Copies of this chain bind each other. A is one copy, B any other.
Amino acid sequence: MTSAILAQPAAGQSGAVIETQTHPGQYRHWKLRCEGPVAHLIMDVREDAGLHPGYELRLNSYDLGVDIELADAVTRLRFEHPEVSVVVLTSGKDNVFCAGANIFMLRQASHPFKVNFCKYTNETRLAMEEATRESGQYYLAALNGVCSGGGYELALACQEIHLIDDRSSAVSLPEAPYLGVLPGTGGLTRVVDKRHVRRDLADVFATLAEGVKGQRAKEWKLVDAVHPKSQWSAAIARRAQELVKPGRPQRGIALEPLDKRREADRIDYSHVTLSVDRAARTARLELRGPHTAAPLPAEPAQAGSRWYPLALFRELDDALVELRLNFETIGVLTLHAQGDLDKVLAVDELLARHRHDWFVREVLLLMRRTLKRLDLTARSVFALVEPGSCFGGFLCEPALAADRIYMIDDPHQPTALALSPLNNGSFPMGNGLARLAQRFLDDPARVAALQLDTRPRFSPQEALAAGLVTAAPDSLDWDDELRIAVEERASLSPDALTGMEANLRFAGPETMETKIFGRLSAWQNWIFQRPNATGERGALSLYGEPASPEFDPRRT
């Protein structure tokens, strides 16, 4: 431990567990109101309901607790309210839309917490964009007041931004001038890569603490429309109605609470168990195969939120968030899948056959988001293909997301690994590539040669020859080889591993999404470590204090 570690209560270590499951009945900061095809998602942050003590969430500023509710609402809208085609995101407070991430929260947060908070926020915003693009739920930001920093970054994640023209409401990114940090939850990237604001205007904008308002905000493309206060409500309502799309499914399914039991070093779900060994800095994530692969009802949605693949991936998603937030010292995650491979492949076939049904499609999209969350989880991931394991089709995809795959080669207990057509396009990474395609970046023909249509199964030696697994030790060597690999990994610098994995996992093209997690987040994380931001005389540390920051002037 070093002096750079700040005062954040040690989440996950001393009882300060962060619970990431919620539902609208529990929301403290948001109101979700559905009126036929239009949903109103209203930010109305309770000042006194921060996730940690020590700060007040004034002016609709947010912390992780606010974003957990937003993420929940975005997911529920897709499953529970498929009839919605327009989501109007606005504020419940007068004259302020959102003041951004709470600065006093940021200041007291440890570096790892800051980084994980920003990552989660980014994932939530990308989920809003995915809902617009893939599920036809169009997000419209109705900025009914001042919108600064993370507030404007939230608006940027919407497909369309409307700003009230009341002579005072501006959009702004004051992070660099006020705090000495970046608009790092997508802001800089979306301004130039999504909205295509001209780079020099973006440069002026991102250094202009007071922001830009009215007609100029529209001219610079920072917003899509401005409306005078007198016409505001009518203009937003009219625009929402214009955007309504007919032909939506009319009945959703309830996302029931997860079956989740927490112990000190273990979380059990229906189909998933996460268990940690704090001393060894390892975690074991077990995914269990289905009991049955019964056909879907005529109306697939009637399968409900307990349908195996949906339940499994909701649990996996929650386990990954738990790991990040509540078990921060765990370095190596081993991934296991235990169950009946035949049944897994039968479920895989159901998913493929019904993939155009709205509900099954939403299940596949939730899987995709969960797998991206795994790609972005800063822990070394080794998938272990052991006797009784069932990595196949959609359930092989977490293994393909792992840094390494080890497969035991034991003639007495044969193991197999299976692929399916879903592995080639149903779960693209953030960079747009299927994990198999990225694995064989040198030669796209190798994916075709796997003949995924046949749902092929691979013995250890076949998997090794096909390049699907990293190593296939025999049963005599297995225990030692695995033990050494895990111990060695856990002994390396956690930071070097994070940086290494962030580079090796994302070979190939970059997209706006990967630029946010690569270019933008990496720079922001650097700045979060710099004395100019977080040192005793740094700008973030001194925000709101009478003293001015003092900068090391050397440009780097």
Contacts and interface: CB of A to CB of B under 8 A. Distances in A.
A206 B500 contact: yes
Given A496-B182, A507-B193, A525 B556 contact: yes
Interface magnitude class on chain A? 35 or more
Interface stretch (A38-46, A129-137, A227-235, A527-535): A527-535
A499 B470 contact: no
Interface of A: 1-5, 110-112, 115-116, 175-177, 179-182, 188-189, 191-193, 196, 198-204, 206-207, 221, 281, 328-331, 378-379, 402-405, 438-443, 467, 469-470, 488-489, 492-510, 515, 518-520, 522-527, 529-533, 535-537, 539, 549, 551-556
Number of copies of chain A assembled together: 2
The 4 closest A-B pairs by CB, nearest first: A180-B493, A522-B522, A196-B442, A510-B510
26 contacts: A2-B535, A2-B536, A4-B530, A110-B554, A180-B492, A181-B493, A182-B496, A188-B504, A191-B504, A200-B404, A200-B439, A207-B492, A493-B549, A494-B551, A494-B555, A494-B556, A495-B527, A495-B530, A495-B533, A496-B532, A496-B533, A498-B523, A499-B526, A519-B519, A519-B522, A525-B526
A531 B4 contact: yes
Contact of A510 (B331, B440, B509, B549): B509
A200 B496 contact: no
Contact of A556 (B175, B378, B441): B378
Contact of A503 (B2, B182, B204, B552): B182
Nearest to A531: B2
B523 A499 contact: yes
A176 B519 contact: no
Contacts of A202: 504
A495 B200 contact: no
A200 B503 CA distance: 12
A190 to B, nearest CB: 10
A331 B330 CA distance: 40
Among A402, A530, A554: residue with most chain B CB under 10 A = A554
B493 A176 contact: yes
Among A191, A328, A519: residue with most chain B CB under 10 A = A519
B403 A111 contact: no
Contacts of A531: 2-4
Given A198-B439, A331-B553, A523-B525, 12 more contacts: A112-B556, A179-B496, A182-B496, A188-B503, A188-B504, A198-B440, A200-B402, A203-B504, A495-B532, A503-B520, A518-B519, A529-B530
A552 B2 contact: yes
B526 A522 contact: yes
Among A181, A329, A500: residue with most chain B CB under 10 A = A500
A396 to B, nearest CB: 14
Nearest to A221: B442
Contacts of A198: 439-440, 467
Nearest to A508: B193
Nearest to A278: B553
A175 B496 contact: yes
Nearest to A119: B556
